[in-house]
Amino acid sequence: MTAAVRRFAAAFLTSAALLLLGWRAWESIAPLPASLSVMRKFWRAGTPTRLLNSRLFRRDPELGAALVSRERFLPLDADVVLTVPPGLPDAAAEEMRRKAAFVLAPRRVTLARGEAGRDGFLLAAAPVAREAP
Amino acid sequence: MSRTASRLLVTAAALLLVFGVSTAAVVAMREPFALNDYTAIWGLKARALYRTGSVAGLFRVDPDGAFSHPEYPPLWPLLLTVATRARLPFDDLVVTPLWPLLALAASLLAVRAARSLRVAWPFALLAGATVSLLPYWRTYPGYAEGLLLVFVLAAAGEAERAGEDAGATLRLSVFLTLAAWTKPEGLVAALVAAAVLGFAKRGRAALLVCLSAVLLAAVPWALAVRRLAPRLPPTDFAFAAFSPANLGVALSTLVSEAVPAAGLLLAGAGLFALAPETLRRRRAVLAWAAVYAGALIGSFAFTRLDPAWHARWSWDRILVVPLAVVIPVLAEALAECVTGRSGAAPLPASPEATLPQAPVPAR
């Protein structure tokens, strides 16, 4: 293989790879005006609004609002029980628990099954375990 | 290569680097971090650390280790916590500028790693641009591999002189120890680096890297976990779960997932095929990448989870680290094809015909 062919082949492979990577990077932010507009809105919003509009609570705004509200008042050393309906699939219940744990950290969140009210969940401080005398 | 061509290449590479980091910035900063592992592990721990100010808070939030991996080292959540201290109350948006900063740092460290191989500036800058364009930065904002990449690329910039220069050996050990404080894969990176240094007859450097990562990162954190965790956290891997079938399923999943990236992988392999001198010179770096990737992929044989699911959700995050380390070597391969010599080769008789090279450091 001559030096010229080698140079051309290497330049072609590199250009193709960089073009592909660059195109994928562009796709991730296209359309740019929409991305920049969303970016501006997020930066201007308040902390709770930001959290409620994040992808975490996009499909579950009631849970997000309840968690943000409870987070303000629950003492940090209290654990929390999240009650969900008995018929809710395990994966969906676990997802709700993780969302709750994220917002309420460092509080421990445990799941319970039972009457969950109109919103499909109940949040309550866990009863304090009493040590035996 | 002419001076004009060299300047054009420098400009194009610099623009690509800025473009790569900017797109990572837009993706990260248009909404708070809220992806799976961020909410389940890294952000959760950062919030717990922020509100309690104590490492013990990391273990209280998920005492059963059901989802937060309490055994993972705490450096990334700690960094997120420090970043959010600038503003009250805790706001995930405040930490998002960290992400493009990590992408920029990793890209510049890739340039430095390429320069440590004596790759000419235009090609070294291309290595940095390629790292900034890795899809990882736009797919997983908030995950810990970003910080891991920074430390491993910083270590890659020291590896060439480790064992021959005391300062480089020390810096290599420090960077890999910090990598081990970032993710368990960081410890694997350090141990594989120690093994490769050992094979390259750089025994002292190998010993320092190994002892530093084990004694200053793995052991202290393992002791902290034992002391602070209410019970030993479950792990995703166990010797008892060993099954060759697990590995087979994981490998077939990995192959099917990697098909869309096949063109890029073939381009990289093609460059190496065109640059035999670079391939020969950089066997140690390539061995490190192969053993690191092999060890982590091989670990799927021991997974306690569904191997297909486990491989599907982690293969690209496993492979991004060795890939990033190989990119400066690819830049050297490109330089060899274009200029006719690899980075470490002596200058030809008429230096004006080529790009100026960095001075060879004194040994």
pTM, full prediction: 0.91
Question: Is the confidence at residue A1, as pLDDT, over 80?
Answer: no
pLDDT over threshold 90, residue B94: no
pLDDT for residue A129: 63
> To probe the interface with A, which of B11, B133, B265 has the most A CB atoms within 10 Å?
B133
pLDDT in tens, A76-106: 888 999 999 999 999 999 999 999 999 999 9
- What DSSP state is assigned to residue B237? B
Cβ–Cβ < 8 Å for B138, B24: yes
CA B69/CA B58 separation, integer angstroms? 10
> Does A42 sit within 8 Å of B30, measured CB to CB?
yes
Q: What is the pLDDT of residue B360?
A: 43
List chain A residues with CB under 8 Å of B47: 102-103, 105-106
Chain A: residues touching B (Cβ < 8 Å)? 1, 3, 6-7, 9-11, 13-14, 16-18, 20-22, 24-26, 28-29, 32, 35-36, 38-39, 42-43, 47, 50-51, 53-56, 76, 94, 98-99, 101-103, 105-108
Give exposure, B245-265, as e/b (b: 16+ Cβ within 10 Å): ebbebbbebbeeeeeeeeebe
Label residue B357 by pLDDT band (50, 70, 90).
very low
Sign of CA dihedral A96, A97, A102, A103: positive
pLDDT at B204 over 50: yes
Helices within chain B (DSSP H only) = 3-29, 36-37, 43-52, 57-60, 75-84, 92-95, 98-116, 121-132, 136-139, 145-159, 166-180, 184-199, 203-213, 219-228, 244-258, 262-274, 276-281, 283-298, 307-312, 315-339
Q: So what's the pLDDT on residue B125?
A: 97
In chain A, % of residues over pLDDT 70: 96
pLDDT at B91 over 60: yes
Cross-chain Cβ contact B93/A21 below 8 Å: no
Is there a contact between B20 and A25 if contact means CB atoms under 8 Å apart? yes
Most confident of A88-92, A125-129, B154-158: B154-158
| Average per-residue pLDDT for chain B | 90
Bridge partners of A83, per DSSP, are A112, A122
pLDDT at B174: 98
Contact status, residue A85 vs residue A122, Cβ threshold 8 Å: no
- Write the residue in B35, B39, B134 that is nearest to A98 by C-beta: B39
Chain A positions touching B61 (Cβ under 8 A) are 101, 105-108
Going by pLDDT thresholds of 50, 70 and 90, the confidence category of residue B359 is very low
Residue B326: both structure tokens together: 């190989």
Instruction: Give the closest of B44, B52, B337 to A102, CB-based.
Output: B44
CB B89, CB A47: distance < 8 Å: yes
Residue B124 has pLDDT above 70, yes or no: yes
- Chain A closest-CA separation from residue B237 CA (Å): 22
Nearest to A54 among B19, B31, B129 (CB): B31
Q: Are B110 and B128 in contact (CB under 8 A)?
A: yes
Q: How far is CA B290 from CA A54, B193, B277, B319, B321, in A?
A: 38, 11, 19, 10, 11
Q: Per-residue b/e over B157-191, b at no fewer than 16 CB within 10 Å?
A: bbbbbbbebeebbebbbbbbbbbbbbbbbbbbbbb
DSSP letters, B121-147, are HHHHHHHHHHHHT-THHHH-TT-THHH
Q: How many CA atoms lie within 13 A of B198 on its CB side?
A: 11
pLDDT in tens, B16-53: 999 999 999 999 998 888 888 999 999 999 999 998 98
* Best residue of B80, B92, B337 to probe chain A, by most A CBs closer than 10 Å: B337
Q: What angle do CA B148, B96, A17 make, to 5 degrees?
A: 60
Residues in chain A within 8 Å Cβ distance of B60 = 106, 108
The domain ranges of chain A are 30-125
Out of A18, A38, A42, the one facing B16 most closely (by C-beta) is: A18
Q: Convert the pLDDT of each residue in B73-83 to its tens digit.
A: 999 999 999 88
Beta-strand pair A109-113/A122-125: unpaired
What ranges do the domains of chain B cover? Answer: 234-343
Nearest-CA distance B245 → chain A (Å):
26
Residue B62 Cα, gap to closest chain A Cα (Å): 6
Contacts of A91 in chain B (CB under 8 A): none
Cross-chain residue pair B264–A106, CB shorter than 8 Å:
no
By CA distance, what is B34's nearest residue in A?
A56
Q: Which of A13, A54, A108 sits opposite B61 (nearest CB)?
A: A108
Asked if B274 and A28 come within 8 Å (Cβ–Cβ), the reply is no
How does residue B274 score in pLDDT terms, banded at 50, 70 and 90? very high
pLDDT at B139 > cutoff 50: yes
Measured between beta carbons, the chain B residues lying within 8 angstroms of A53 are 31
**A39/B30 CB distance under 8 A:** yes
**Contact across the interface for A101 and B60, Cβ inside 8 Å:** no
**Nearest CB to A102; choose among B26, B47, B52:** B47
Judged by CB atoms closer than 8 Å, whether chains meet at B48 and A106 is answered as: yes
